[in-house]
């Protein structure tokens, strides 16, 4: 077949330059290959793209490669009959079947309709070389970040602060409002916990969720009234009327107690806080009886226990442990610790070792036999005669009636007990006592009565006997052994013996805290010299140097750090309230 191929090249003016070539062959090949009749030199076209052949006077085009594109009049196809006016799209070329002169079977125009274009321009268009957005631009991100931060950090907590406390709904209850709404409300209402600036001390944790308990008014510092809701009546440090520097008037609770520091208690324990005044207290307050004190290890004076010096008044005085001659506790008791604590192997002089027990013979006593720790282990329970002494020091008064004991602590009753006893003995008769009158010694016959004279004799004897026994027991053997006693007044008829009242100081150092239980690894003897104490007047306290064997001040190394409040309190009892309480008109605290 003979075909005419016209290559068109568009000019900017719109006209086309033409290059015409004639080809003649049985089958016309179209492709990139140089041997193709219709040479389409663009690399996007396969070497051999398609063929045109004639059949029965008509021309047909058919694609030779399945993967390449061929469209006839816009429709993709593998092969088609060619008519005048048909438009073929082969790669970037457009071929149009045109009207032909008679000697040609087919005429085609070929035009490169999709040239490559400017590679440089194309590269620029395809490439994105500037970082202008990261999902969003910087402005959008800034707005987003600001809004989110304001909501989370300001909005939600503020909403929580302003709304009343909500409870999360129980799992079982059927609520009127939707459960989700209640959960959300509960969650939002706790959002002001995002504002917390530090952990709450352990003792305050049970109301830590409700900031308003202490922060009662917004933008107003926590006032003393908030603390006094619970700590009402917290006492002064010292007598504020007498010592101006102890009034702490310009201080609020917050001046010393700082919350939001974590779980630790908010009690100030720094030594410097106390010693800033106490190291020069006598200069600041000349009236004070407290000695100047600093660090426990190096600047704490010797202990000055409060000792009973005159039981008749009674008078208690603080005497330093260093002042041995003056250091005597006048309790009106007689008690030798050394005798009671003798060891069995300690035979010396005429007495064997140990101490005599009425039933058990010679025994050894130890501190625990009489001194029981009180519950909590701070101090010891008070010594009670009935509990701690009577087992050995029974108050019998008659060897023939050992079961009869005098009541301890009541001398009048004791005398009367003895009188009643002997009166009964006299009335009963049959008494085996050669010194007694006959009427008392004689056995009564059944139904026998006593004459008035006999009764008088019996009673006189009973009273006399009671007085003798009283002198022996109260005066010497029983009461007089431990107490200071005075006989009945001369000229008085009541015959009542007087026992000097006993004044045992409850605590030798009432302003200092000492817990025995914390020291239970030590022996009693290591601090209390009981084994050598002969008299009850001995104040058996250890010197401060004994404590300093283990304890020292804040800056110590290798010793137990003991600051002022380890043993002392700031808020002293019975000094009067530190702050006037403020519980409102009705006296109702603002706690829920």
DSSP structural state of residue 412 = H
Other C-beta atoms lying within 10 Å of the C-beta of residue 36: 20
Residue placing its CB nearer to other proteins in the complex, 116 or 510: 116
Interface region with other proteins, contact rule CB under 8 A, candidates 76-84, 93-101, 151-159, 471-479: 151-159
- Token duo for residue 275: 């010693």
Choice from 9, 205, 241, 258 touching other proteins (CB under 8 A): 258
CA of residue 177 relative to chain centroid, distance: 37
- CA pair distance 439, 425, nearest whole angstrom: 11
Choice from 27, 58, 154, 515 touching other proteins (CB under 8 A): 154
Give the contact letters, 369-398, x = binds to other proteins (CB under 8 A), - = no. Answer: ------------------------------
Query: Does position 159 bind other proteins by CB under 8 A?
Result: no
User: How many residues of this chain bind other proteins (CB under 8 A)?
Assistant: 66
Residue placing its CB nearer to other proteins in the complex, 143 or 456: 143
- CA pair distance 529, 294, nearest whole angstrom: 28
Torsion region of 202: left, alpha or beta (phi above 0 gives left; psi -120 to 50 gives alpha): alpha
Burial of 541 (0-12, 13-18, 19+ CB in 10 A): middle
Question: In DSSP terms, which residues pair with 21 in a beta bridge?
Answer: 5
Least distance from C-beta 235 to other proteins, angstroms? Answer: 21
Question: Within positions 263 to 282, which residues make up the interface with other proteins, using CB under 8 A?
Answer: 266, 268, 270, 272-273
Query: Does position 317 bind other proteins by CB under 8 A?
Result: no
DSSP structural state of residue 429 = B
Query: Does position 118 bind other proteins by CB under 8 A?
Result: yes
Question: Within positions 62 to 91, which residues make up the interface with other proteins, using CB under 8 A?
Answer: 65
Residue placing its CB nearer to other proteins in the complex, 118 or 555: 118
Choice from 14, 135, 348, 592 touching other proteins (CB under 8 A): 135
Residue placing its CB nearer to other proteins in the complex, 130 or 506: 130
Query: Does position 490 bind other proteins by CB under 8 A?
Result: no
CA of residue 489 relative to chain centroid, distance: 65
3-state secondary structure of 464: helix
Least distance from C-beta 91 to other proteins, angstroms? Answer: 10
Least distance from C-beta 163 to other proteins, angstroms? Answer: 14
Query: Does position 119 bind other proteins by CB under 8 A?
Result: yes
Least distance from C-beta 224 to other proteins, angstroms? Answer: 14
Residues 6+ apart with CB under 8 A from 277: 245, 284
Question: Within positions 414 to 453, which residues make up the interface with other proteins, using CB under 8 A?
Answer: none
Chain position carrying tokens 């307050």: 285
Gyration radius of the chain over CA positions? 58
Other C-beta atoms lying within 10 Å of the C-beta of residue 45: 22
Question: In DSSP terms, which residues pair with 310 in a beta bridge?
Answer: 315
Query: Does position 145 bind other proteins by CB under 8 A?
Result: yes
Choice from 25, 76, 77, 116 touching other proteins (CB under 8 A): 116
CA-CA distances (angstroms) from residue 263 to 212, 251, 564, 565? 19, 24, 21, 19
Query: Does position 148 bind other proteins by CB under 8 A?
Result: yes
Interface region with other proteins, contact rule CB under 8 A, candidates 157-165, 226-234, 392-400, 487-495: 157-165
- Token duo for residue 240: 């504020």
- CA pair distance 39, 484, nearest whole angstrom: 146
- Token duo for residue 122: 């194309």
Question: Within positions 3 to 42, which residues make up the interface with other proteins, using CB under 8 A?
Answer: 32, 34, 41-42
Least distance from C-beta 51 to other proteins, angstroms? Answer: 16
DSSP structural state of residue 66 = T
Chain position carrying tokens 């603080």: 318
CA dihedral angle for residue 377, residue 381, residue 387, residue 389, rounded to 10 degrees: 110
Give the contact letters, 283-302, x = binds to other proteins (CB under 8 A), - = no. Answer: --------------------
Query: Does position 202 bind other proteins by CB under 8 A?
Result: no
Give the contact letters, 172-201, x = binds to other proteins (CB under 8 A), - = no. Answer: --------------------xxxxxxxx--
Cis peptide before 525 (omega within 30 of 0): no
Residue placing its CB nearer to other proteins in the complex, 22 or 118: 118
Q: Quick one: which of 252, 225, 162, 254 has its CA closest to 588?
A: 225
Question: Within positions 461 to 480, which residues make up the interface with other proteins, using CB under 8 A?
Answer: none
Site for other proteins, rule CB under 8 A:
32, 34, 41-44, 46-47, 65, 116, 118-120, 122-124, 126-131, 133-135, 138, 141-146, 148-150, 152-154, 157-158, 161, 192-199, 211, 215, 218-222, 255-256, 258, 260-261, 266, 268, 270, 272-273
């Amino acid at each position: 077949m003979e075909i005419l191929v016209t290559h068109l090249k568009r000019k900017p003016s719109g006209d086309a330059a033409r290059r015409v070539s004639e080809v003649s062959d049985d089958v016309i090949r179209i492709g990139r290959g140089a041997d193709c009749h219709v040479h389409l030199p663009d690399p996007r076209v396969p070497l051999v793209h398609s063929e045109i052949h004639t059949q029965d006077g008509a021309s047909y085009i058919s694609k030779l490669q399945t993967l390449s594109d061929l469209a006839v009049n816009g429709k993709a196809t593998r092969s088609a009959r060619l008519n005048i006016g048909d438009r073929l799209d082969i790669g970037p070329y457009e071929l149009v079947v045109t009207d032909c002169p008679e000697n040609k079977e087919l005429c085609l125009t070929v035009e490169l309709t999709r040239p490559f274009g400017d590679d440089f321009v194309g590269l620029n268009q395809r490439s994105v070389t500037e970082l202008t957005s990261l999902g969003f631009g910087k402005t959008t991100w800034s707005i987003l970040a600001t809004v989110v931060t304001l909501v989370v950090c300001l909005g939600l907590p503020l909403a929580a602060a302003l709304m009343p406390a909500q409870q999360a709904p129980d799992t079982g209850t059927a609520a009127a409002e939707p459960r989700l709404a209640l959960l959300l409300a509960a969650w939002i209402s706790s959002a002001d916990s995002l504002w917390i600036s530090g952990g709450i001390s352990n003792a305050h944790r049970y109301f830590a969720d409700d900031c308003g308990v202490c922060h009662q008014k917004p933008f107003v510092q926590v006032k003393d009234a908030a603390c006094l809701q619970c700590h009402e009546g917290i006492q002064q440090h010292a007598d504020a009327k007498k010592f101006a520097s102890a009034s702490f008037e310009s201080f609020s609770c917050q001046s010393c107690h700082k919350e939001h520091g974590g779980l630790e208690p908010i009690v100030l324990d720094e030594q410097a806080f106390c010693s800033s005044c106490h190291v020069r207290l006598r200069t600041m307050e000349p009236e004070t009886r407290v000695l100047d004190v600093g660090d426990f290890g190096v600047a704490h004076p010797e202990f000055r226990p409060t000792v009973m010096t005159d039981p008749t008044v009674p008078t208690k005085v603080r005497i330093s442990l260093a002042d041995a001659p003056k250091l005597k506790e006048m309790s009106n008791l007689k008690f030798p610790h050394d005798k009671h604590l003798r060891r069995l192997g300690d035979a010396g002089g005429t007495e064997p070792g140990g101490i005599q027990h009425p039933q058990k013979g010679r025994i050894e006593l130890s501190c625990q036999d009489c001194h029981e720790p009180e519950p909590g282990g701070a101090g010891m329970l008070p010594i009670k005669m009935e509990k701690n002494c009577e087992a050995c020091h029974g108050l019998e008064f008659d060897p023939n009636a050992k079961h009869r004991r005098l009541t301890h602590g009541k001398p009048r009753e004791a005398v009367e007990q003895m009188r009643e006893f002997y009166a009964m003995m006299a009335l009963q008769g049959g008494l085996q006592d050669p010194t007694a009158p006959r009427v008392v010694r004689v056995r009564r016959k059944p139904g026998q009565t006593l004459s008035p004279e006999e009764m008088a004799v019996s009673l006189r004897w009973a009273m006399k006997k009671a007085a003798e026994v009283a002198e022996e027991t109260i005066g010497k053997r029983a009461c007089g052994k431990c107490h200071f006693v005075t006989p009945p007044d001369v000229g008085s008829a009541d015959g009542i013996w007087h026992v000097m009242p006993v004044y045992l100081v409850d605590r030798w150092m009432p302003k200092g805290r000492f817990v025995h239980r914390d020291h239970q690894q030590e022996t009693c003897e290591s601090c209390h010299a009981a084994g050598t104490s002969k008299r009850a007047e001995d104040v058996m306290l250890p010197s401060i140097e004994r404590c300093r064997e283990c304890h020292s001040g804040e800056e110590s190394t290798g010793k137990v750090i003991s600051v002022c409040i380890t043993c002392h309190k700031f808020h002293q009892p019975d000094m009067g309230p530190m702050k006037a309480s403020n519980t409102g008109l009705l006296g109702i605290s603002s706690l829920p």
